[in-house]
Amino acid sequence: MKKKFPAVLMMLHVLVLGVLIPTYLLIDRKNTVLNALILSVVALILICVIYTIIYSKNSMRRISKMNQHLESSAAEFMNSLPAPVAVIDESRQFVWYNQIFAEKIGLGQDVYGLELEGFVKIDMNMLLKEGSAICPMNGSIYNVTAEKFDKNDMSFLVLYFHDDTSYYTVRKRMEESHPNVVIINIDNYDDIMQNAKESEKAQASVETEKLIENFMSKTNGFIKKTSSNTFYAIIENHHINEIIDSKFKILDAARNIKISGKYSLTFSIGVGQGASSLAESEKFARQCLDMALGRGGDQAVVKTDNGYRFFGGVSNGVEKRSRSKTRIIANALQDLIMNSDKIFIMGHRFGDLDSVGAACGLAGAISLVGKPVYIAVDRTKNLATNLIDIVDEETEGELFITPSEAEGMIAQNDLLIIVDTHNKDYVESRSLYEKAKNVVVIDHHRKNVNFIDNAVIFHHEPYASSASEMVTELLEYFNYDGDEKLRNCHADALLAGIMLDTKNFVMRTGVRTFEAAAFLKKLGADTVAVKLLFSNSIDSYRRKTQIVASAKIHNNCAIAAADFKSDDIRLVAPQAADELLGITDVDASFVIYKTGNTLNISARSLGALNVQVIMEQLGGGGHQTMAATQLEGTSVEDAVKSLIYAIDECRKNADNTH
């Protein structure tokens, strides 16, 4: 708060007295009420005048002491400095400043007695703690340093204002012009083009290059085509920020390019922003591109200090028809298995039929090549106990062990295979993963930030329907001694995993999914036995229908909250979400349920709405048609509000891209 100089108050008081005293002399003396009122006012003003004089003397005495101290030490020096200097007292009021301060900071205004923080924008806590602070003032940026000194019973702070405007201007210009590597990849270009006519290939190539040239024309960077489906660009920071603000409109434009009139081209873009050099920027761009491809493509990824930012991702992953990668990985995996002493397999926490099924199928194949294999699973926290019991009976109880037993058994030359997850936080046993020296990952979920980054083999295909499908394809290329084949129970387990994640071959089903199922059927998989694994008790069925009946519709989304607790809620809730998709005009379904102190949301979609993006806003993830998240320390009502907000934001962003 600014304080006026006491002399101003004295002048006002004298002026009022000059009016009141003549008035008192001229009025009727018999009017005692008016006389008393005037005398009271005069007395009050006299008291104020006396206080003002005393205060003024004290203030002037303080300033006089300050000036005497400055005159005897450094007043002439500080006045001659080419930088603004000011002195404040213990109450942070100005008691002295030099001429250049008055000109540049005060702009001619008298600031004696004014409080520092009411006059300039400065963080005093930082100034006192760090000894310096930034102060923007009158179009300039000052770096303010402070020096404390004491004189007698008074303490003062000398402030030096260093004009760093030129430095910050150059720094901003340098940051804006900092170059970044951007890699643009055309998703599955070879697979899409292999059956296209030459004229269609040429037309698509021309349209693609025109689109990219138009994209680059709005920048002062350059781009180079390094292969038929890859482009490298160098773009300055301020143009990158403009592209980010526009949410990478090139992704939407790319989908309008059709091959053979039906296949849309999609781009995956990795942006290497925030690097200190071009080499590091190229490394960041590759990491971001890998993340974009691992999440199904058709999106741009920007690396940030806290992880990654994602843009786009509204299309389904395109199925790759070539199996050359699968064959190479199968051969490498078998070599790794043969060179290991023991093999341990585990899936994700609260394993389902896909997680357990993929582990069982892989374990069956490994046992055929003569290597000891174990599946680490917590039966008390598993949704596929029926399958575990059946396989356990067929293998005479030699396959499944607890995670703690696996932790005690694993050694230096052993191999750990993780299926149906690539997230360190979701594995069945984090301790087992950390003890393993050699790790293999087989997963189909869209890539997230906290992925396993030390895997010897990272087999990740986001277009695949399930981990069981990926394992089945690998087993087709395994080399076995003799004529032995996979046991029926292992084939059943793999088929159950495929059927679970495809919703009985309805969702996320490609040509290779049916080929994998046919291979399993050839091995002896029994569809009736697999169907029995999906059967529920009458009580579970009642709980599922109860959740479905409680659903509300918002923006073509069914939202249901299970207000009860049960041992099979983790199994019933996703089934209820699947059932809700059968309602007319429902694009996605969300079921909220509680386990302990944690709120869980199970999300399902038929493809019209990307539930992965919605769940990522709430800290989760998954696939475009199947995702989930967990919320800690929140109520069901707050979870519903957060979910509705995320749905509306997703709808709004989707509308803006069309």
Kindly report, residue by residue over 29-87, the tens digit of the pLDDT: 555 665 666 566 656 665 665 555 544 444 444 554 455 555 545 556 666 677 888 88
What pLDDT score was predicted for residue 56? 47
Assigned CATH class of 538-656: alpha beta
Alpha-carbon distance 466 to 361, whole Å? 13
* First-last CA distance in the chain: 53
Which residue's structure tokens are 């997703």? 650
292 is written with which tokens? 């974009």
What pLDDT score was predicted for residue 61? 45
DSSP string, 167-191: HHHHHHHHHHT-EEEEEEEETTHHH
Among 36-50, 93-107, 430-444, where is mean pLDDT lowest? 36-50
- Does residue 605 carry a pLDDT above 70? yes
Q: What is the mean predicted confidence (pLDDT) over 524-542?
A: 88
Phi–psi pair at 98, nearest 5 degrees: -90, 175
More confident residue, 12 or 579: 579
What pLDDT score was predicted for residue 184? 94
- Does residue 609 carry a pLDDT above 70? yes
Assess contact for 282 and 299: CB atoms under 8 A: no
Q: Longest Cα pair distance anywhere in the chain, in angstroms?
A: 134
What pLDDT score was predicted for residue 261? 67
294 is written with which tokens? 């691992």
Q: What is the dihedral of CA 408, 409, 412, 417, to 10 degrees?
A: -110
What pLDDT score was predicted for residue 139? 83
> In terms of Cα–Cα distance, which of 529, 568, 531, 526 is closest to 546?
568
Among 188-197, 364-373, 395-404, where is mean pLDDT lowest? 188-197
Alpha-carbon distance 608 to 507, whole Å? 12
Alpha-carbon distance 330 to 362, whole Å? 11
Assigned CATH class of 177-312: alpha beta
Q: At what angle do helices 385-394 and 353-368 cross, to 10 degrees?
A: 20
Pairing mode, strands 230-236 and 222-227:
antiparallel
> In terms of Cα–Cα distance, which of 556, 555, 593 is closest to 576?
593
148 pLDDT tier (thresholds 50, 70, 90): confident
Among 475-479, 599-603, 631-635, where is mean pLDDT lowest? 631-635
What pLDDT score was predicted for residue 77? 61
Q: What CATH number has the domain spanning 324-532? A: 3.90.1640.10
**Please, what is the Cα angle at 509 between 506 and 511, to 5 degrees?**
135
What pLDDT score was predicted for residue 64? 47
Tell me the pLDDT of the chain averaged across its residues: 83
C-alpha pair distances (Å), 65 with each of 8, 69, 146, 320: 22, 6, 21, 85
- Does residue 234 carry a pLDDT above 80? yes
* Amino acid occupying residue 341: D
Alpha-carbon distance 436 to 414, whole Å? 7
> In terms of Cα–Cα distance, which of 384, 381, 382, 379 is closest to 357?
384
> In terms of Cα–Cα distance, which of 500, 492, 593, 611 is closest to 551?
593
Q: What is the mean predicted confidence (pLDDT) over 496-504?
A: 90
More confident residue, 106 or 39: 106
Give Cβ neighbours of residue 380 (< 8 Å, ≥ 6 apart): none
What pLDDT score was predicted for residue 52? 54
3-state secondary structure of 514: helix
Query: How far does CA 325 lie from the centroid of its chain?
Result: 31
Among 293-297, 495-499, 528-532, 558-562, where is mean pLDDT lowest? 293-297
What pLDDT score was predicted for residue 525? 92
The string of pLDDT tens digits covering residues 203-221 is 888 888 899 999 999 899 9
What pLDDT score was predicted for residue 324? 74
Q: List beta partners, residue 307.
A: 304
3-state secondary structure of 74: coil
What pLDDT score was predicted for residue 70? 52
- Does residue 643 carry a pLDDT above 90? yes
Fold of 75-169: Beta-Lactamase (3.30.450)
> In terms of Cα–Cα distance, which of 479, 481, 363 is closest to 417?
363
β strands within 332-471, DSSP E: 343-346, 373-376, 400-401, 415-419, 438-443, 457-460
Among 72-76, 363-367, 423-427, where is mean pLDDT lowest? 72-76
Alpha-carbon distance 194 to 197, whole Å? 8
Alpha-carbon distance 212 to 251, whole Å? 11
Assess contact for 194 and 320: CB atoms under 8 A: no
The string of pLDDT tens digits covering residues 585-599 is 899 999 999 888 889
